[in-house]
With several copies, the nearest count.
Chain A
Amino acid sequence: MKFAVQVLEAPYNNQASDTAYHFIKAALDKGHTIVRVFFYHNGVVNANNSAEPPNDDRNIYKRWTELGKEKGIDIVACIAASKRRGIKEGQIVEGTRISGLGQLADMTIEADRLITFG
């Protein structure tokens, strides 16, 4: 089945990014497809490549690189939301990209299920 995933909160600040990751991993393990992951509101902070989380904790940013680069999932931060919060092209996590809200509309239509973590 085709899933689309929306994340609305910043990593570490809220559990949304963690739950989304574990959900996506479990969905992939069961053979489902992830059409796209879309970051909105403070969720765009997930695409900030300048972070240095503590070494003794999980690295949420690297998880997105793993899913985006190694698993080939399309991971998009909303450009308008990114501009408000200072996330920009050239400073984003490997395996993610910045694009418009149309990408959210598009994945909503294409996927069998849209699931939001916030």
Chain B
Amino acid sequence: MLHMVNKSPFSNSALEEAARIASKGSPILLIEDGVYAARAGTSFAPKLADILKDHPVYVLTPDLKARAVDKLVEGVEQVDYSGFVDLVEKDKVHSWV
């Protein structure tokens, strides 16, 4: 199951809850304000590195560009809207809104 998070990890607990519940190996997709979680060099970055040990992490490129998030935590993969659709086609999706 794909777990989708659209809230900033600095102000909202959604990503931490999603990562705690999500079964090991299931992918996490960061969209909208959720992409800030993927920024390298932040106080959250070490937590994302931990999450990456158990989950592939994807970020939506259009949302990254909109927010000028140009340095990513190592291992994070980018997808565009087309790749987003492919992820949802591959597996069921839950939104941690």
Contacts and interface: CB of A to CB of B under 8 A. Distances in A.
A72 B88 CA distance: 22
Contacts of A29: 82
A21 B95 CA distance: 16
Nearest to B86: A30
Nearest to A28: B85
A112 to B, nearest CB: 8
A46 to B, nearest CB: 16
A26 B89 CA distance: 12
A24 to B, nearest CB: 9
A113 B88 contact: yes
Contact of A27 (B4, B6, B32, B85): B85
Nearest to A22: B81
B82 A19 contact: no
B88 A3 contact: yes
Contact of A23 (B84, B92, B97): B84
Interface in B42-97: 60, 62, 80-82, 84-86, 88-89, 92-93, 95, 97
A25 interface: yes
B84 A26 contact: yes
Interface in B5-40: 6, 31-33
A116 B32 CA distance: 13
Interface of B: 4, 6, 31-33, 60, 62, 80-82, 84-86, 88-89, 92-93, 95, 97
Interface of A: 1, 3, 8, 15-16, 19, 22-23, 25-27, 29-30, 32, 113-118
18 contacts: A1-B89, A15-B6, A15-B32, A15-B33, A22-B62, A22-B81, A23-B81, A23-B88, A26-B81, A27-B85, A30-B85, A32-B89, A113-B89, A113-B92, A115-B4, A116-B95, A118-B95, A118-B97
